Amino acid sequence: MKNFIKHFKSGLWLKSPIFWARFFAYAIPLVFLLYVMYMNFLPFGYNKTFIINVGSKEDTDVSKEFHLEPSRSLSDATTSQDGSTYRKLNGIAYADFKPNAVLKNAKITVSVEGDGISIMPPVINFNPNTINWDYSWDFTKGIPKDFIGNAFMFDGEATFDGKGTRLELPNSVNKFENKALSIYVEWKPINSNDDAQQIVGHYNWELWQNKDNVEFRVGRMSDAKGPSYSLKYPVDTEFFNKKHSAIAIYNPSENGYIDLYVDGIFAGRTYFGPEKIWVGYGKENLSLGWTPFNYEKCPHLKGYVYRVSIVNNSILIPESTISYNLDESLDTAFLLISNSTSTLKRLKLHVF
């Protein structure tokens, strides 16, 4: 032991090529292992804040991990008298987070500074049982007695066979069209060959299963010659034969809009100004499985419906701060929303 201490204090071992050969033989793979663990198990010890000063020269710089995407709803960069910068927002824009590190099991908090501007995550964790619905039908327990029609239960599922089956809610001609609406649906599509398969609808609004998208449409608007508006969530053949959920929102106002979410993923928002659904367009009851739209040439739905819930308001409340757990499979593009011209000053993202 004394000889070891004497040798260590002498420092001669530092000049030994054998020592350094052994050191690097162990150190290099250990460093590599630590690097792999660090990159694959972040945010172990990871805690970082990103800021976008809106209107600055770097706010849309794609080389930045957190940046704004150009949008027709955003004004040019503006500098106020006190030297601070901003952009006006009227509509929607996106802030993109592209971290250089591989983040797993990370938590993100994002906040926006600007009056009248809200922020939404790329995916929402929605629990329909937290909503006080005006109407809610559970099709897993059988065909609800409220409905008439020829859809049937098979192996515990409300079945629409694509050969003429549908359901209709009697005395609902004048319902579900005069106010704001939020519709929640759970279903499983089977037919990947046809468009315009109605999941649920009221003629002047419809949620359709198409062969390459899920579509929410409203209209005609205002009168017999008014336009229609729609949102589409693209799908491929892997989407079919699996259970899915959708939230469709119709929110009329001075700057009204429709929203669509499929499996919690935001599909988009379309504004239509002060227009409203023209209630004289079609005298149809609420229905599932088939729409008489397009001169009764639309196909019947082939698939299963598990739940339909409706309430006369917008169920998603705008927020200026959001928090959620990061899923590395998702595109981390945050939606910024303003229903009128508002000043967007600053965005802050904290990941840990």
Q: In the predicted model, is pLDDT for residue 134 greater than 90?
A: yes
- Start-to-end CA distance of the chain, whole Å, equals 47
The DSSP call for residue 300 is P
Q: In the predicted model, is pLDDT for residue 17 greater than 80?
A: no
Is the preceding peptide bond at 220 cis, omega within 30 degrees of 0? Answer: yes
Rg (CA), the chain: 28
* Domains of the chain with CATH codes: 2-40 (no CATH), 48-124+317-351 (2.60.120), 128-311 (2.60.120.200)
Q: In the predicted model, is pLDDT for residue 264 greater than 90?
A: yes
Higher per-residue pLDDT: 240 or 293: 240
Residues 119-124, mean pLDDT to the nearest whole number: 84
Predicted structure pTM score: 0.82
Share of the chain above pLDDT 90, in %: 71
In whole numbers, what is the pLDDT of the chain averaged over residues? 89
In sequence order, the 6+-apart residues with CB closer than 8 A to the CB of 208 are 195, 196, 197, 198, 199, 201, 214, 215, 216, 217, 291
**CA distances in angstroms from 301 to 31, 42, 49, listed in the order given:** 58, 45, 48
Nearest Cα to 208, choosing from 190, 221, 191, 195?
195
Helix, strand and coil percent figures for the chain, each rounded to 5: 15, 40, 45
In sequence order, the 6+-apart residues with CB closer than 8 A to the CB of 56 are 77, 85
Express each pLDDT in 195-249 by its tens digit.
999 999 999 999 999 999 999 999 999 999 999 999 999 999 999 999 999 999 9
Nearest Cα to 262, choosing from 236, 240, 238, 235?
235
State the pLDDT at residue 325. 77
Q: In the predicted model, is pLDDT for residue 99 greater than 90?
A: no
Contact 303, 53 (CB under 8 A): no
Residues 287-294, mean pLDDT to the nearest whole number: 94
Please report which confidence band the pLDDT of residue 111 belongs to, taking 50, 70 and 90 as the band edges: very high
- Alpha carbons 300 and 289: distance in angstroms, whole number: 6
State the pLDDT at residue 24. 65
Q: In the predicted model, is pLDDT for residue 252 greater than 60?
A: yes
- Alpha carbons 277 and 304: distance in angstroms, whole number: 28
- Alpha carbons 216 and 219: distance in angstroms, whole number: 11
Please report which confidence band the pLDDT of residue 20 belongs to, taking 50, 70 and 90 as the band edges: low
Contact 213, 196 (CB under 8 A): no
Residues 90-95, mean pLDDT to the nearest whole number: 92
Q: In the predicted model, is pLDDT for residue 131 greater than 90?
A: yes
Q: In the predicted model, is pLDDT for residue 275 greater than 80?
A: yes
